Amino acid sequence: MSLKKRIHQFFISLRLGFFLALRQIRRSSKWTTILIIFVMTLTFLNLVVVSGILVGLIEGSVVAVKSRYLSDVIVSTLQEKTYIENSPYVVAVAKSLPWTEAVSARYLEGGTIEANYKTRVKETDLIDNVGIIVAGINPTDEDAVTGIKDLIVEGSYLTATDYDQVLLGHNLLRKYLPIESPGFSTLQDVEVGDKVRLIINGNTREVIVKGILKSKVDEISRRVFMTDTQLRSLIGRSDYNVDEISILLKPGSDPVVARDAMLASGIGAYAKVQTFEEGLPKFLIDIKNTFALLGNMVSSIGLVVASITIFIVIFINAITRRKFIGILKGIGIHSTAIEFAYVLQSLFYAIMGTFLGAIILFGFLKPYIASNPIDFPFSDGILVATLSGTLVRVLILFIATLIAGYIPAKIVVRQNTLDAILGR
């Protein structure tokens, strides 16, 4: 048979396969069809959601670190320096970029915070103190970049004129982090309005707790925040040189372009300029990759289960219709057309399952989890399901379904025609 004739025959078989599949689906048991589609929907969700949640646990953390701390571009001290030299110039350059929405410069200093200095009566009484990083911020600028004001869970946020007032990250307080561990100290019985002692560079200040910030980003939850003017005076930084500058870009701006523009202005001589992705802690990226791998492994098991389900469904369907398959062959219907009919049926189940799964995923699950993140100790877990990633999984599901539908159809179709007709 010539190639042209074979191709023609192939399309005839495909058309007849479609004709048969359509009628078999239309006139088969509705409950069976619904059940198979339900299984395929669950398989699709298993494929996308399980890995999406696992990746989303870390992605939630990444998003939080970006939006609440690093922002789009982060400028930090060079390795051999203690602060960013020429900071006023660096800030001015950052603010002058056409893509910049807001800039927050932070002073950072190590210190200690002590709570029970008034109630401690003996020298041998344990000191209730915690080692901390104090961040000196311009309250308005910081809120514009990281929306830190929204993280206040008790008390109120700082104003530019606040003096001797601090915000505490919630993980510094025992009532929020009830962990008894020698290496992880917290302050006991500290409430908003209480006085605590701040020791920085040998200077001691008694400050009032104005508010408590709750966040799953360590750079917020384990820090103490005060106004930049007071911290500057406490550490004697009269040159206005800061330690960190976070730059929030306008929506749609490319952080890489902004970073390159900063470096082109010669900022590289004074500071390290990184996009948020470059500034992410390496362990976060490692965990993200590990969780993605785990997600793919779990999804693969789901895929195998789905393939076996489809195989069994099609095999039983084909076996129970063995006589009719024999008759079809007997009256001259080509095997290819009969196989197509079963493969197309499998594909129908996969398409319907995927379609319903996609509606559930993008219409309900993803928006619901986005507005009600899963509360994990280290992050607010979101569901990561990108369109491209989902399409790849759909493609894999379709290929697995096609194979799972084709094999049983082939097994039954290749049986002896007369035996099939006579039920032998």
Which positions touch another protein (CB under 8 A)?
Answer: 1, 8, 12-13, 15-16, 19, 23-24, 26-28, 323-324, 327-335, 337, 417-418, 421
CA separation for the pair 342, 150 (Å, rounded): 57
Q: What does the alpha-carbon distance between residue 87 and residue 102 come to, in Å, rounded to a whole number?
A: 16
Q: Which is nearer to another protein, 319 or 359 (CB)?
A: 319
Shortest Å distance, C-beta 22 to another protein = 10
Residue closer to another protein, measured from CB, 280 or 314: 314
Q: Give the amino acid at 71.
A: S
Least distance (Å) from another protein to the CB of residue 324? 6
Toward another protein, which CB reaches closer, 13 or 77? 13
| 311 φψ region: left (φ > 0), alpha (ψ -120 to 50), beta (else) | alpha
CB of 344 to another protein, least distance (A): 14
Cα–Cα distance measured from residue 62 to residue 283, given in angstroms and rounded to the nearest whole number: 11
Residue 367 CB, nearest approach to another protein (Å): 40
Q: Taking the complex as a whole, how short is the minimal distance between the CB of residue 333 and another protein, in angstroms? A: 5
- Pick between residue 286 and residue 419 the one whose CB is nearest to another protein: 419
Calpha distance 175→278 (Å, rounded): 35
CB nearer to another protein: give 285 or 418.
418
**Could you tell me the two tokens for 132?**
């901390």
Q: Which of 61, 231, 216 has the alpha carbon at shortest distance from 139?
A: 231
Say which residues have a Cβ less than 8 Å from residue 354's Cβ, sequence separation at least 6: 40, 41, 44, 394, 397, 398
376-380's contacts with Cβ under 8 Å and 24+ in sequence apart are 376/57, 376/60, 377/216, 378/57, 378/61, 378/216, 379/57, 379/58, 379/60, 379/61, 379/64, 379/216, 380/60, 380/64, 380/216
Least distance in angstroms from the C-beta of 329 to another protein: 7
- Look at residues 14, 79, 52 and name the one whose alpha carbon lies nearest to residue 288: 52
Q: Which is nearer to another protein, 26 or 282 (CB)?
A: 26
Nearer residue to another protein within complex by CB, 239 or 419: 419
What is the closest distance, in whole angstroms, from the C-beta atom of residue 417 to another protein in the complex? 6
